[in-house]
Structure 1
Amino acid sequence: MKHFEEWVMQFYGQRNWTQYGVFERMGFLMEETGELAQAVRTYEIGRDRPDEAVKAEPVLKEELMGELGDILANLAILADKYGFTLEDAAKAHQEKLLKRFEAGPTN
């Protein structure tokens, strides 16, 4: 992840895409999340629209991966703005859940 995050900051930075504040970045993240939702829907159940060509499964999977990448890039930029990495966030998430559920299921 570190290599990806460094690449994102360099690539996006060269294009002045990292200049936006956190509220604008959240807007971009929401936009990309919507595009991911559409890619998942298209992959799983299709689009059923006469104005869109049917795409082969490998193309649909590539589009889905691309949208996930867009989301990861936006998350990397957000994390950087707050002074941590995606790896830091992943570790914090693990620790939070392990602490929360260390007593076992609460069904």
Structure 2
Amino acid sequence: MNLKDHENWLVEFYKQRDWYKYTPPVRLNYLTEEVGELSRAIRSIEFGRDHPGEHKLSTDEKFDNLNEELADVIDQVLIICSQYDIDPTSLMEYSERKLNKRFESNQGA
């Protein structure tokens, strides 16, 4: 499955549950929440969590959680792309052009 196919599937999934109606500013709040959860997943892998109320996760569970949170972040970005009619694959091309342009003068340095 490619990024655009997943975006199409995701939009339909969200519409079926009446979640697509939330505006981009609301989606940004969800994205911020997911980035926080991603931060916590990375913290768990890199530094651990010493919290008496939490079950200690195995390494496999920690990486499964990392995958889950990365997917959640991508999903929120894809929904925002859809709401603004932006092809998500164009973002990858945009990123490469921007970085190449920004750093082309530093290639020989």
User: What TM-score, normalized to structure 1?
Assistant: 0.92
CA separation in 2, counterparts of 1:77 and 1:16?
Answer: 13
Aligned to 1:46: 48
Aligned to 1:92: 94
Aligned partner letter, 1:35: E
CA separation in 2, counterparts of 1:31 and 1:71?
Answer: 9
CA separation in 1, counterparts of 2:53 and 2:62?
Answer: 17
Aligned partner letter, 1:80: S
Which stretches in structure 2 are left out of the alignment for 5+ residues?
Answer: none
Cα offset, 1:105, TM superposition = 5.0
What does residue range 63-82 of structure 1 map to in structure 2 within 5 Å?
63-82=65-84
Moved over 3 A (4+): none
- C-alpha change, 1:102 and 1:81, in structure 2 (3 Å) is same
Name the SS for the 2:106 alignment partner.
coil
Cα offset, 1:78, TM superposition = 0.6
Percent identity of equivalent pairs: 34
Deviations 1:24-58 (A, max 9, x none): 00000000000110111112111111111111111
Equivalent pairs, count: 107
CA separation in 2, counterparts of 1:87 and 1:21?
Answer: 22
Aligned to 1:12: 14
Which stretches in structure 1 are left out of the alignment for 5+ residues?
Answer: none
What does residue range 30-41 of structure 1 map to in structure 2 within 5 Å?
30-41=32-43
Aligned to 1:62: 64
Within the candidate set 97, 104, 109, 1:102 is matched to: 104
